[in-house]
Chain A
Amino acid sequence: MELEKIDKIIEKYSSDSSSLTSILSEIQAEYSFLPQDVLKRVAEKLEIPMTQLFGVVNFYKIFKLEPSGKYIIRVCLGTACHVKGAHGILEEFERKLKIRVGETTKDLAFTLEKVNCLGCCSLGPVAMVNDDHCGQMNAVKVNSLLKRLSSSGKY
């Protein structure tokens, strides 16, 4: 791990704890997750106990302690999506990817997440693949989406 790179990110911000989430976000954008030795470095540099740092990382859902897949699929479980069958969409993704929500496939192709509202309620049920929204989802669309994204044809 290139700790110099981490130091540079930290230096951009003020050295008190208020910048903690911003620093962690930027590091995660770089590595896709927060490796343990990186967290140690952040704790050292900001002079905060590792327990406090770990508390923050665990509390906020955006932070990840394990690497994510190439495609992060986020299924919206907002109310409008729920009444239009969003849970069925999530279950179909789980079945096809053979992982549970929150997990990543072994080949690091897909990470499956749930999100409590993506704020495009008219399109429900909605799923998001990385930065793209897919509206009016159904089981058939789940299959065609995964086929399109999966280079190995495994899913």
Chain B
Amino acid sequence: MKKIKNREDLERVRKRIVKKSDPNKPCITISSGTCCRAYGCQKVTKAFITEIEKQEIRDKVEVKTTGCLGFCERGPIVVIYPKGIYYQRVTIEDVSEIVTETILNGKIIDRLLYIDPVSGKKFVNGEEISFYKKQMRVLLKNNWLIDPNKIEDYIINGGYTALSNALFKMTPEQIIDTIKRSGLRGRGGAGFPTGVKWENCRRANGDLKFIVCNADEGDPGAYMDRCILEGNPHSIIEGMIIGAYAIGSHEGYIYVRHEYPLAVKNLKIALNQAREYGLLGNNILNSGFDFDIKISIGGGVFVCGESTALIASIEGKIGEPRAKYIHTVEKGLWNKPTNLNNVETWANIPIIINKGSKWFSAIGTEKSKGTKIFSLVGKINNSGLVEVPMGITLKEIVYEIGGGVLNGKKFKAIQTGGPSGGCIPEKLLDLPVDFEKLKETGSMMGSGGMIVIDEETCVVDLAKYFLNFILDESCGKCIPCREGTGRLSEIVERITSGKAKIEDLKLLEELSHVVKDFSLCGLGQTAPNPVLSTINYFRDEWETHIKNKTCPALVCKELIQYYVDNGKCNGCGVCKNLCPQKAILGELKNPHSIVQDRCISCGICHENCKDNAIILSSPRGKN
């Protein structure tokens, strides 16, 4: 590929690509993000290519692999253009029928369509499905259309127009002003105004400045950044080049976690293509501006998502955070002014430049503008990635987009903000989602994980889970976090094993505030949030664990007991064969029983009993 020489040349290249492509030519797109790969999308793609060759229709139809379409629950998803026919859970067995019936004969295959579980209605077009209908997909829209390994696909969909406009029609000050006016706030969790950060970095002393993209998406239960990295890497690159030009930087880094191998691969390909096209490197589009990006791979450490720890990690040091009174915009990477933004923040930049700050700031609430991608997962019917305007209520997300709680169970809470966030109970479901409102509940926006929990999830166990997570991930530099989370975890452990006294709850709260107030970085300062928010909204459940030694959700192993319901057990022997402790006794076709001394409450018998004859009870010792 020849380098694009200038602004006019970019438009010529775009026209050439448009001319080459025929919008009416049938195109089979296969969603190929990490989730869909687990469902076997690569085999499906291969099968399509083989079938098309077999039927000798290579000239008549195009096959394209795209990034994640968001409805991960239903993968692999195949969308057939130009009509936009949406087939879900496609397997290799369906491929030949799709090619013959849909591509050649124009017929729709009913069984592959999505059926709404509530209304029973079938949908041909994906956009109409309730999961997508309420969303406002600004950032994720192009994931449907783009092969992430083809820069041409990005360009044909308007890619690098924003860069061209920024370089030739705007001054750095105008760009910063546009971003400030748009009201964009950092999508990594803290919500700092992006334009202000850029301005501070531009004003900072020094000629050498750095741009960093934080792609160390470590929050458990959140994967929206992965989706953009894998599905639309050029949007991040374009955002970074614009940011670099505005700030006056010539070197950028993308710090991406090693747990995302596909994201790393697609990013590397995208960077190379951008260089080949002359969109990265020296004298970009003949503007006189130089900028390039390096990839730095994370080492599997959660705290490296914290800005100062991340910077230390890029420098090849131990990824420990430092005190925040020295701002990274003044002294960051190698002590030079550094502007660090999250993946989703960078991906928003080209959109704001293209559509203008007014368009962007019209979306959302007073202080939180634009859209936000959430990963809606856990005990929810439609799990996947949802992009919604700020200000939408939690209820709309859970019930209208998410289709309600899995298996008809009762909704208990929604956990947001990862280990730094909290649980929001049912009574607050009408809450409009934005940075401030979520903080008021004692939780936070975080990077966008939303884990729905139902009546079968124990909030004490969940708090314990997050504490142990932090304990595991605390870098150990400051004492409140290193030791404090350890002691908090011990207290919660006593509670979940029935060894706590009621005074322990007060101690837990007190110590939580100490850890919150005195930890060095955000990790420790927010670590007690899951504990405090669940005590705030679910105090009864905590007290029941302590006073009655009972786990109402039947989760805490040391407070529950499994036994066989003789009336239901038909003696099939499945549980007996699966029990790792050989704790189940009984003759074939006769009711079995559990030897309580041997039982370790692993729950395998309960999980595999087709007759629901394994019953759970709490407290222990009743039966």
Q: Which residues of A contact B (CB under 8 A)?
A: 16-22, 25, 55-56, 59-63, 77-85, 88, 91-92, 95, 115-124, 126, 131-135, 138-140
Interface residue? B35 (CB, 8 A): yes
Given contacts A117-B219, A124-B377, A140-B578, is CB(A83)–CB(B300) below 8 Å? no
* Contact of A60 with B299 in the complex, beta carbons under 8 Å: yes
Interface residue? B221 (CB, 8 A): yes
- Output the least CB separation between B85 and chain A (Å): 23
The docked-state distance in angstroms from the alpha carbon of A82 to that of B222 is 13
| B residues near A17, Cβ cutoff 8 Å | 315-317
Interface residue? B258 (CB, 8 A): yes
The residues in B between 72 and 87 inclusive whose CB is less than 8 angstroms from any CB of A are 72-73
Residue in B223, B259, B318, B472 whose beta carbon sits within 8 Å of that of A56 in the complex: B318
- Output the least CB separation between A76 and chain B (Å): 8
* Contact of B578 with A79 in the complex, beta carbons under 8 Å: no
The docked-state distance in angstroms from the alpha carbon of A55 to that of B319 is 10
* Contact of B38 with A18 in the complex, beta carbons under 8 Å: no
Q: Which residues of B contact A (CB under 8 A)?
A: 34-35, 37-39, 72-73, 217-223, 226, 258-261, 296-297, 299-302, 313-319, 375, 377-379, 383-384, 415, 418, 449, 451, 453, 457, 462, 465-466, 469, 472-473, 475, 578, 580, 602-604, 607-608
Closest B residue by C-beta to A136: B38
The docked-state distance in angstroms from the alpha carbon of A120 to that of B36 is 9
- Output the least CB separation between A102 and chain B (Å): 12
Contact sample, A vs B, 30 pairs, CB 8 Å cutoff: A18-B315, A25-B297, A55-B318, A59-B475, A60-B301, A61-B301, A79-B220, A79-B378, A79-B449, A79-B466, A80-B220, A80-B451, A82-B220, A82-B462, A83-B451, A85-B603, A115-B259, A115-B300, A116-B220, A117-B223, A119-B34, A120-B38, A120-B223, A121-B222, A123-B35, A131-B261, A133-B35, A133-B38, A138-B608, A139-B578
Residue in A21, A79, A139 whose beta carbon sits within 8 Å of that of B418 in the complex: A79
- Output the least CB separation between A62 and chain B (Å): 5
| B residues near A59, Cβ cutoff 8 Å | 299, 301, 318-319, 475
Instruction: Supply 17 further A-B pairs (C-beta < 8 A) apart from A56-B317, A61-B299, A79-B451.
Output: A20-B316, A56-B316, A59-B319, A80-B383, A83-B451, A85-B607, A117-B218, A118-B34, A119-B223, A121-B378, A121-B383, A122-B383, A133-B38, A134-B38, A135-B35, A135-B38, A139-B607
* Contact of B72 with A92 in the complex, beta carbons under 8 Å: no
Given contacts A121-B221, A121-B223, is CB(A83)–CB(B378) below 8 Å? yes
- Output the least CB separation between A65 and chain B (Å): 14
The docked-state distance in angstroms from the alpha carbon of A63 to that of B299 is 8
| B residues near A92, Cβ cutoff 8 Å | 580, 602, 604
The docked-state distance in angstroms from the alpha carbon of A135 to that of B300 is 21
The docked-state distance in angstroms from the alpha carbon of A56 to that of B578 is 43
* Contact of A79 with B221 in the complex, beta carbons under 8 Å: yes
Residue in A21, A117, A133 whose beta carbon sits within 8 Å of that of B222 in the complex: A117
Given contacts A17-B316, A120-B223, A135-B39, is CB(A62)–CB(B300) below 8 Å? yes
The docked-state distance in angstroms from the alpha carbon of A133 to that of B259 is 11
| B residues near A81, Cβ cutoff 8 Å | 220
* Contact of B38 with A83 in the complex, beta carbons under 8 Å: no
